[in-house]
Amino acid sequence: MCGRIAQYRYPIEYLEALGQMTIDGVDPTPIGRYNVPPQSRVQLLHRDQDGLRMNGVRWGYAPFWAQGKRPPAINARAETAATSKFFRDIWKTGRAIVPADGWYEWKKDEANPRIKQPYLIKLRSNAPMFFAALGQFQRGGIGEPRDGDGFVIITSSSGAGMLDIHDRRPLVLSPECALHWLDPELEPNEAEDIALEHGLGVEEFDWYPVDRAVGNVRNEGAHLIERISNPVL
């Protein structure tokens, strides 16, 4: 986890769920992505000196000293990100939020791991989700991406009830905690407390099997999030 997400609503819907007014430069059309893979550009919320921003940033990050030596990371563990050599430099300055509608996990057959069934996980309320993230990205408005720009999604333990799908999941924050996470004045230790103690509980989520077509990143469309009645697992 987490290797595939859905981000398909109008941008304004995510902003309204955060209790925010519209912001400059936001696309008025739906994002419309039902099968978002790593290394693609994903709409990311962050703050700079002029306020809240939402623009596309590549999903995948490595500090300058690691670039070219290993593939970019796509996730960071909530338990270690604040002190990890890989992420500690962006812990204070690079906090961001991925607004999303769900994420996918693949359940494996214990007897034959090659048999997998994808599941979509979303909020029971069907409200937008807010994944805690860390990254390096443009400040002061939308500009051309720079070498090294990118982000990771922070993950936490799945906890009882979701372990049969995967033992890790995105750190999903309430709208209030998401805004707090984005506050540039938030102290690093307070951000660590949010990451470790304030993610939404497993009881907030629902998950169901979806078509295995989502396993191919070239497939796209609303049919990918529809519940199927004949899962292999």
DSSP string covering 3-63, please?
A: S-EEE-S-HHHHHHHTT----TT--SS---EEEE-TTSEEEEEEEETTEEEEEEEEB-B--
From the candidates 13, 79, 105, 187, give the one annotated as an active-site residue: 105
Active site residue 105: yes
- Six-digit token string for 133: 């993230």
Helix spans in the chain (H) = 11-17, 88-91, 175-182, 188-197
Instruction: Report yes or no: 54 and 25 within 8 Å, Cβ to Cβ.
Output: yes
The Cα angle at residue 124 between residues 119 and 128, in degrees rounded to 5: 90
Main-chain dihedrals φ then ψ at residue 13, nearest 5 degrees: -65, -35
From the candidates 2, 187, 190, 220, give the one annotated as an active-site residue: 2
Active site residue 2: yes
* CA 1 – CA 73 distance, rounded (Å): 12
Q: Which residues are catalytic?
A: 2, 105
